[in-house]
Amino acid sequence: MKLKFTIFSLLLLPLAGFALSPSAINVSVFPQSPAPGENVTITLSSYGANLDIVNIIWQVNGKTVLSGIGMKSYLLTAGAAGVEAKVVARVMLPEGEIDKLISIRPGAVVLLWQANDSYVPPFYKGKALPTEGSEIKIVAVPEIRAGGATLDPKTLNYVWKKNYENSSGDSGYGKNYLLHTSDYLDPGVNVSVVAGTVDGKYASGGSISVGAYEPEIAFYKVDPVLGTLWEHALPDPYRLASGETLLAAPYFIAPADIRRPELVFKWFINNSMLPVQIVRKNLIPLAPAAGASGTSRVRLEIENTDQIFSSASGEINIEF
């Protein structure tokens, strides 16, 4: 009996190439909300293709600006506020071309701050500085343009961060300012915001760091006729011509109203505390004894009974 064998031949054919989806190529933009004139880095990455061995062509507003094998990144300088740059990254894969479109819409957000609860004396021309316990108001002033027009800040959505953490309670539609109260554990604060349209098409961001300062006490002469002479603080030492009244100005202490009862003023002369009834909070009358001469040290300590770490002190040497 003869056995018959049937031999099957297997023909091995190469698999047809599979085209990658455009979603297989990722695009990262840094910073995501650039300011006018800021450098923007655009980077491509992929989980399904080796971009190091393929040709990549970069075009900006239809003009080729960069091309070459493995050119995965492009550095762009953003234009003026509202001037959109349309960037196309064309990736020449063996399976075909993939175009990635990136729109760069620069805008500007300026952050301004003020210390809401910081004392400065009358006629002071400088800025009130925040100290421990001061309330700081930070206002975002965005310049975001669309279609040639500047968008109304009240119609934008704001995402705030304090010390790099989301501040959801301060964020939202039309919320263009943030309030922060500093304390001894966190005297300074870094605040950032991204302001943009509700649809997310236009956006820009900004950040600012605001520190806390030590209160300072300066002393001024009170003239019986002209009142407090705010033009110049008294030098140290100060020679007392005769009986005079000195005024202490505690710059930047909180609260801003130094008449508040939680601010306790303690006056000392040569380390001896004066009775409260002798002085009037921030005023102290001085008169040398008849025939006496020498130097005395006058010191003022201010305590906030509501905030144990909010205090100020200053002293001046009085010659007579």
CB atoms within 10 A of CB 83: 12
Residue ranges in the chain assigned as alpha helix (H): none
Nearest to 219 by CA among 288, 283, 158: 283
Say yes or no to pLDDT of 4 above 60: no
Q: What is the predicted pLDDT for the residue at 9?
A: 34
73: phi then psi, degrees, rounded to nearest 5:
-130, 150
Confidence band, pLDDT 50/70/90 cuts, at residue 19:
low
CB atoms within 10 A of CB 168: 10
Q: What is the predicted pLDDT for the residue at 146?
A: 81
The per-residue b/e assignment along 305-320, b for 16 or more CB within 10 angstroms, e otherwise, is eebeebbbbbebebeb
Say yes or no to pLDDT of 194 above 50: yes
Q: Give the single-character DSSP code of 240.
A: -
The residue to which tokens 């300074």 are assigned? 188
Q: What is the predicted pLDDT for the residue at 293?
A: 83
Q: Can you tell me the distance from the alpha carbon of 75 to that of 66, in angstroms, rounded to the nearest whole number?
A: 10
Q: What is the predicted pLDDT for the residue at 123?
A: 87
Peptide bond into 237 cis (omega under 30): yes
Share of the chain above pLDDT 70, in %: 93
The residue to which tokens 């000392």 are assigned? 268
Q: For 99-142, how does the pLDDT look when each residue is reduced to its tens digit (9 = 90+)?
A: 999 999 888 899 999 999 899 998 898 899 998 878 899 999 99
CB 121 within 8 A of CB 251: yes
- Domain architecture of the chain: domains with CATH: 23-104 (2.60.40.10), 108-210 (2.60.40.10), 216-319 (2.60.40.10)
Q: For 206-226, how does the pLDDT look when each residue is reduced to its tens digit (9 = 90+)?
A: 999 999 888 999 999 999 999
Average pLDDT, the chain: 88
Q: Calculate the alpha carbon distances from 79 to 133, 153, 204, 207, 302 in Å.
A: 41, 21, 13, 20, 52
SS3 54: coil
176: phi then psi, degrees, rounded to nearest 5:
-95, 10
Confidence band, pLDDT 50/70/90 cuts, at residue 203:
confident
Q: What is the predicted pLDDT for the residue at 10?
A: 32
Q: What is the predicted pLDDT for the residue at 15?
A: 36
**Span 280-286, average pLDDT:** 90
Q: What is the predicted pLDDT for the residue at 134?
A: 82
Q: What is the predicted pLDDT for the residue at 16?
A: 41
Number of H helices, E strands in the chain: 0, 26
Q: What is the predicted pLDDT for the residue at 18?
A: 53
Say yes or no to pLDDT of 5 above 70: no
> Which amino acid, residue 304?
N
Confidence band, pLDDT 50/70/90 cuts, at residue 200:
confident
Q: What is the predicted pLDDT for the residue at 133?
A: 77
Q: Can you tell me the distance from the alpha carbon of 9 to that of 107, in angstroms, rounded to the nearest whole number?
A: 67
Give the contacts of 93 (CB within 8 A, at least 6 positions apart): 20, 49, 54
CB 35 within 8 A of CB 78: yes
70: alpha, beta or left? (left if phi > 0; alpha if psi -120 to 50): left
Residue scoring higher pLDDT (267 or 307): 267
Confidence band, pLDDT 50/70/90 cuts, at residue 1:
very low
Nearest to 163 by CA among 149, 180, 146, 176: 180
Q: For 49-89, how does the pLDDT look when each residue is reduced to its tens digit (9 = 90+)?
A: 999 999 999 999 999 999 999 999 999 999 988 788 999 99
SS3 133: coil
CB 280 within 8 A of CB 292: no
Q: Give the single-character DSSP code of 122.
A: T
**Span 147-153, average pLDDT:** 85
Say yes or no to pLDDT of 14 above 60: no
SS3 87: strand
Radius of gyration of the chain (CA): 34
